[in-house]
Amino acid sequence: MNCVLELKNLGFVYGKGTPFEKRAVDNVSLTIKRGEFIGVIGHTGSGKSTLMQMLNGLMRPGEGQVLLDGRDIWEQPKKIREVRFKVGMVFQYPEYQLFEETVYRDIAFGAKNKGLEGDALDKAVRDAADFTGLKPALLDKSPFDLSGGEKRRAAIAGVIAMNPEVLVLDEPTAGLDPMGREVLLSQITRYHKECHNTVLLVSHSMEDIARVADRIIVMNKGKLAMFEPTKEVFRRGDELSRYGLKVPQITNIMQALRRRGFDVPEGVLTVDEAFDALLPLLQKEGKLW
């Protein structure tokens, strides 16, 4: 199996040995295959951010190992910087991290530090801008003249330009309007499809996760509560609500119909799927044109 990331008995404790000691991540083991689109969900304080920050060596695990392409990322602590080019991290509200004079230079910053230059750097910047839907005309502007949505795209483009093997996005759609969410999500999906890179998407929006993820990591109180295909996770609605999470409204509606004896499929995740499932049933009843 071609796995890109492997976590072995990973653990992390904040403030160890102090009265504020708190175990944030507790014995997490899992394997992520190359090219997978992984959703990460969990309530606030469930440990998902700590887990994500251990993936690129921003935090050093107290226990266990993170293997990237089969090698422990802390094998040579001095080379940890290389890991950060391979596992690109987009934090929450990344628009506050822009700092360069132009959008172009801001996007180029990471790729340049990685060692790209000349035409290769130019191509990386322009491709990343294209993936995130930033118009070329914006590249010469100051990042501070962009709208909030554009700033966020620019920040994401800066990470994509490094062409990371694994792209980690922490709540990339928080605070965006419905259309903004939709567009950004479809751009991330397109990036994933065309680059075949692995994507981890952390989100509080079950609807978003349901639409894009192949498999879902569910964190609860620092432990890995589930790591299953998307349909399987959202089939276990009762369990999710115990973890302070939810199931998309449409999944609940179809589940309720199933319980009432209607022949609709299990694990419907999107409105389109529900529509396709209901159409023949309604046709049979002669309720449609």
The encoded tokens of residue 93 equal 């509200």
Q: What is the dihedral of CA 214, 220, 224, 229, to 10 degrees?
A: -20
**Candidate list 21, 140, 177, 266; residue touching other proteins; CB under 8 A:** 177
Map the footprint of other proteins across residues 180-199, applying CB under 8 A: 180, 182
**Candidate list 174, 221, 231, 235; residue touching other proteins; CB under 8 A:** 174
**Stretch of 94-102, 116-124, 211-219, 251-259 lying at the interface with other proteins (CB under 8 A):** 251-259
Q: How far apart are CA 58 and CA 89, in angstroms?
A: 10
Shortest Å, Cβ 123 to other proteins: 30
Residues 234 and 240: beta-carbon distance below 8 Å: yes
Q: How far apart are CA 217 and CA 108, in angstroms?
A: 31
Map the footprint of other proteins across residues 10-39, applying CB under 8 A: none
Q: Using alpha carbons, list the distances in angstroms from residue 272 to 203, 212, 215, 243, 275.
A: 21, 14, 20, 27, 5
Q: How far apart are CA 68 and CA 55, in angstroms?
A: 9
**Candidate list 75, 135, 144, 175; residue touching other proteins; CB under 8 A:** 175
Residues 193 and 159: beta-carbon distance below 8 Å: no
Map the footprint of other proteins across residues 95-134, applying CB under 8 A: none
**Candidate list 207, 216, 219, 233; residue touching other proteins; CB under 8 A:** 207
Interacting residues with other proteins (CB under 8 A): 42-45, 92, 147-149, 174-180, 182, 204, 206-207, 244-246, 248-250, 252-253, 256-257, 260, 262, 271, 274-275, 278-279, 281-282, 285, 287-289
